[in-house]
Amino acid sequence: MQNIIYAAASLSIMGLLFALLLGFASKIFAVEVDERVPKVRDCLPGANCGGCGYPGCDGLAAAIVAGTAPVNGCPVGGAAAAEKIAAVMGVEPASGDRMVAHVHCNGGCNAKDKAKYEGLQDCNAAIRVAGGPKECAFGCMGLGSCVKACAFDALHIENGTAVVDAEKCVACGKCVATCPKKLIDLVPAKNVVHVNCMNRDKGPAAMKVCEVACIGCKMCEKTCKFDAIHVENNVAKIDYTKCKNCKMCAKACPKGCIEPVPTAEEKEKFAAMQKAQAEKAKQAAAAKSADA
């Protein structure tokens, strides 16, 4: 009995000593945490999507407090979260346009099939089989890798092409990183005009593989009054910092590869306007020649 009492007492004394040592060590080796970190963390939505480029919301909160990430670093929380974080950090809220993902391809059913693909329904897998099932080497394969990557149900396959629901998109960038063809980009949500083609082949070659491919004719470039669209590497590209959403380039495009695609009535009115402008310019030139 006495042995049991001694053993219990020894264990109790050892436990007390270890507790004191651990308490002492915790004080000596304690890592100070800035009290603003948990406050910033509370301002974040908790999606832990990684769209900010940091390991979850905790990582972003620590980076913001450390000054290595901006207060508007969370694409999911957007302006509302940025404003709250700015208040915690004692700085002015960062301004900036809301961004959304956009798929620069409208091929889908309009693009010719090269072969019937029956393998794994994944774009990154399909591209390893002769470059994918489509004749267009630059277009969307419609197998939905971006759809699977999106945690916010903002992407769906429609008519063989990935389409973004701008209302649901939080610009986390997961789809951008996932697409093997690099067809998805983050664009300002306020912009409604987009070139839905990335085919860099010359016009005749592009037309052979897709009915709505950009042919590099530069009609859009000639029509734009704001220097916002140019043909680069045989395909039109919009400078969103200059675009005014006038939609004139879309009306001028003969292939309908610029969104929003105009109706037949809009195209007719545009053609009539161009004809009137050409006639006016002709008359002005004739008058100038007569005066000379």
Q: Tell me the per-residue pLDDT of 228-287, one tens digit each, with 9 for 90 and over.
A: 999 999 999 999 999 999 999 999 999 999 999 999 899 889 889 888 888 888 888 777
State residue 25's pLDDT score.
67
Q: What is the mean pLDDT of the chain?
A: 88
State residue 2's pLDDT score.
67
State residue 230's pLDDT score.
97
36-45 tens-digit pLDDT: 899 999 999 8
Checking if the pLDDT of 22 tops 80, the result is: no
Checking if the pLDDT of 144 tops 60, the result is: yes
Average pLDDT over residues 175-199: 94
Q: Length of the chain in residues, anyone?
A: 292
State residue 220's pLDDT score.
96
Q: Look at residues 62, 106, 108 and name the one whose alpha carbon lies nearest to residue 85.
A: 62
65-112 tens-digit pLDDT: 888 888 888 888 888 888 898 888 887 776 677 889 999 999 888 999
- Using the CB atoms, write b or e for 63-93: b if 16+ within 10 Å: bbbeeebbbbbbbbbbeebbbbbbebbeeeb
Query: Comparing 119 with 202, which gets the higher pLDDT?
Result: 202
Share of the chain above pLDDT 90, in %: 52
Checking if the pLDDT of 32 tops 70, the result is: no
Share of the chain above pLDDT 70, in %: 93
Average pLDDT over residues 188-215: 95
State residue 172's pLDDT score.
85
Cα separation, 6 vs 10, in Å, equals 6
232 - beta bridge partners? Answer: 235
Question: Which residue ranges form the domains of the chain, and what is each CATH number?
Answer: 36-89 (1.10.15.40), 97-190 (3.30.70.20), 213-283 (3.30.70.20)
Average pLDDT over residues 166-193: 92
State residue 292's pLDDT score.
64
Cα 156 versus chain centre, distance: 14
Query: Comparing 19 with 76, which gets the higher pLDDT?
Result: 76
Checking if the pLDDT of 31 tops 70, the result is: no
State residue 30's pLDDT score.
56
Q: How far is CA 199 from CA 89, 135, 172, 239, 255, in A?
A: 46, 11, 26, 18, 13
- Using the CB atoms, write b or e for 270-289: b if 16+ within 10 Å: beeeeeeeeeeeeeeeeeee
Cα separation, 104 vs 82, in Å, equals 29
